[in-house]
A and B are shown apart, each in its own frame.
Chain A
Amino acid sequence: MAKTMKKVDAVIVGFGWTGAIMAKELTEAGLNVVALERGPMRDTYPDGSYPQTIDELTYNIRKKLFMDVSRETVTVRNTTADGALPMRQLAAFLPGTGVGGAGLHWSGVHFRVDPVELRLRSHYEERYGKKFIPEGMTIQDFGVSYEELEPHFDFAEKVFGTSGTAWSIKGKVVGEGKGGNPFAADRSDDFPLEAQKNSVSGTLFGKAAEAVGYHPYNMPSANTSGPYTNPYGCQMGPCNFCGFCSGYACYMYSKASPNVNVLPALRQEPKFELRANAHVLKVNLASDGKRATGVTYVDAQGQEVVQPAELVILGAFQFNNVRLLLLSGIGKPYDPVSGKGTVGKNFAYQNLATIKAFFGKDQHHTNPFIGAGGNGVAIDDFNGDNFDHGPAGFVGGSPMWVNQAGTKPISGLAVPPGTPAWGSAWKAAAADYYTHHLSMDMHGAHQSYRDNYLDLDPNYKDAFGMPLLRMTFDWKENDIKMSRFMVDKMRKIAEAMNPKAIGVYAKDFGSHFDLSSYQTTHLNGGAIMGTDPSTSAINRYLQSWDVPNVFVLGASAFPQGLGYNPTGLVAALAYWSAKAIREQYLKHPGALVQA
């Protein structure tokens, strides 16, 4: 028999970045808010305390802060003709669990968005014609513009304490020759902190990129270049480049996280309650299916609990949001055959490739253990639509960078191509190259396709007996074309550094999605935003078209994958949605956009 709690104004599912941001905004608006987090309580102390946290085996290798796949995972297949198999071990992507979510263990790369990518389909059709977009590619516009989001990008950077170099502020160029990005969109204000120092590897990349005619810039990093206090009064210490960012809670209070940058303020707020170890099973609907009445969750003891609420905010990880919609019967499930339905549609990823450069002992000491997760030097010459895609013949762009985030010996030791995997030859190469190599990435956009989608698996279940989410996903010709194009460009930068050896790690035609090797946790789509309820699950304010007192935050709203890292846009969209709730929805609860 489920226990029923006292009704609240808003219940938030998941306490990562979006849950924390929305909790702060809604309590500011005077609402009583309960946030439910499936994982345990986590904070800098004890989860990030020095020296215990400087432990690669426990964190990167045994994956202490990541989603517990023994309890719930996803199933994966390449095409609808294949049987899906469960992801039994974490590898390709690393969603979080626990208070802070993936926002506790992320790196801290904090971009905005290339404005073109918010209206991707319209832009490509205008510049290259409708026929340029391949058959089966289902890219869409977000339905919101960069100008509308700009104040929210700005505020999120101030909350995160982001370090960077502006190119232009209110139309005035300020960053030329200082590490600004000439391709960056205009800003209303500077970054709250100046850019971090650059690593030796980053500087080498910048010089080489410049030598071959590109435009290097300092990556915007949510790792602090100095002490900082954010608008919520939360304090951060200066990053010391310890290199333990991605997969860790930052022991220096230097990497922005919901735990460091929002939770201390929420703790002072009597209208807010955070319940950890609360695993939400579904959103409960009124009998007409048009209104949510709250959620049902399982607490730490296994007790089912009903939490009634006026407003339900889904702030779980991308695919968990989609799964909750499907388990709750909110919206019409997507059907890849008819192309009808919206929930599960446009599941997209990111299209990465890596080149490693290996130097001689007397050439360079890159000391790759020195790092900060968001730090680096990048170029945008091939990102977005900053070059002519016509002759290239594919959709999508990619930034390229050296993002030296702290390369550790178990997970990150690299040896030149052709080195045996073990024995004295491997050992000698490991010893000769570890402190003399660097790694550069193309962090490419990934497009959405008619048959890359999410639904519920018919066979496999989670620890609570609920169906797992099923991913139907594979790389397409457009993705491989882009990857090969970008790798060619990046190789020229690598060659300009004059290394002894170069290793290229990229997909080729016929490559399938590889669940066994880490790529990125930047998963997108499945509950996408848009302007038309027949092609999107949520409206431009991230409100469900079908159940208007449900809002669905996070990268599940992206109609396709970005070139940049998603967190900056995820945060800005959360503030954008919160503004609409505060200024419009609370006054007149109901649909903010008429279907």
Chain B
Amino acid sequence: MSPDDTSPARRDFLRKSLTLIPAAALAGQAASGAAAAAPGHGAAAARDYQPTFFTPEEWAFLRAGVARLIPADERGPGALEAGVPEYIDRQMATPYASGSQWYMHGPFNPDAPKTMGYQLRLAPREIYRLGIRDAEAWSRKQHGKPFATLDAATQDALLAQFEQGEAQFEGVPSKVFFALLLGNTREGFFCDPVHGGNQGMVGWTLIGFPGARADFMDWVERDERYPFPPVSIRGERA
């Protein structure tokens, strides 16, 4: 889709975001306007959020990246509007992100085949720290600019290189970094809003998942559209 900067919602969203982003990230953020997600019809911005784990530079990458993985488009809001960056930043404070739910005793064999499952020593917090550093280095090497300042097509091409392992990363294989980013992005798009993502239940609304309704006694045998909007654990209604 083509980026569209003319929507009032989009301009309003950018203005709100900018007021909270530290000065160091401003240049990148401002220039990324064209590259970040285009607004969908009626796409609302995610609420303001100040990251606690990600640095301003990392935050700019994360916002730009998730906006390409699940873009805002004619089908509706994307990952950015759903608050996926907030979700991922909040996840970084959980035991999951420090790897403490995984068996992390050596010896490690990072060259093991994929069928042996995850075999690196890195926890998600480290994968993000090293992966974003390497992604930015790769972006500058290829295009001379930070990822967030590139246009959408160029960002997509870079993400595809990460996905395929064609980008040369030093600290973490680019495929591993990409898989984590994509997995967390989907989680943040479709989780209950209690976790910070899926704000306004835009992810659930997109696909027709009714969230925490959890009672379909009268709908089991009906081959028809389920008509009720999703609800969240906190009782919000989309």
Contacts and interface: CB of A to CB of B under 8 A. Distances in A.
Interface residues of A, number: 64
A430 interface: yes
B231 to A, nearest CB: 8
Given A367-B226, A434-B208, A87 B220 contact: no
Given A69-B102, A430-B207, A434-B208, A242 B117 contact: no
A173 interface: no
Contact of A409 (B69, B107, B185, B207): B207
A513 B78 contact: no
Contacts, number: 180
Given A61-B187, A200-B221, A240-B215, A460 B203 contact: no
B71 A424 contact: yes
Given A370-B220, A410-B187, A422-B182, A88 B194 contact: no
B48 interface: no
A30 interface: no
Contacts of B103: 69-70, 73, 86-89
Nearest to B222: A200
Secondary structure call for the A interface: loop
Contacts of B100: 70
Contact of B107 (A242, A422, A459): A459
Contacts of A242: 214-216
A516 B118 contact: yes
A423 to B, nearest CB: 6
A460 B106 CA distance: 8
B114 interface: yes
B159 interface: yes
A68 B103 CA distance: 9
A366 B105 CA distance: 44
B129 interface: no
A251 B221 CA distance: 22
B115 A244 contact: no
Given A54-B233, A57-B187, A427-B73, A89 B219 contact: no
Interface of A: 50-52, 54-57, 61-63, 68-70, 73, 76, 83, 85-89, 91-92, 197-200, 203, 238, 240-244, 251, 364-367, 369-370, 408-410, 413, 421-424, 426-428, 430-431, 434-435, 459-461, 512-516
Given A197-B221, A408-B190, A461-B105, 19 more contacts: A51-B212, A52-B233, A55-B191, A55-B194, A55-B233, A57-B187, A61-B191, A62-B101, A86-B103, A88-B102, A89-B101, A365-B226, A366-B223, A369-B226, A413-B207, A431-B76, A434-B207, A459-B107, A512-B115
7 contacts: A50-B212, A70-B104, A198-B220, A409-B203, A410-B186, A422-B68, A461-B105
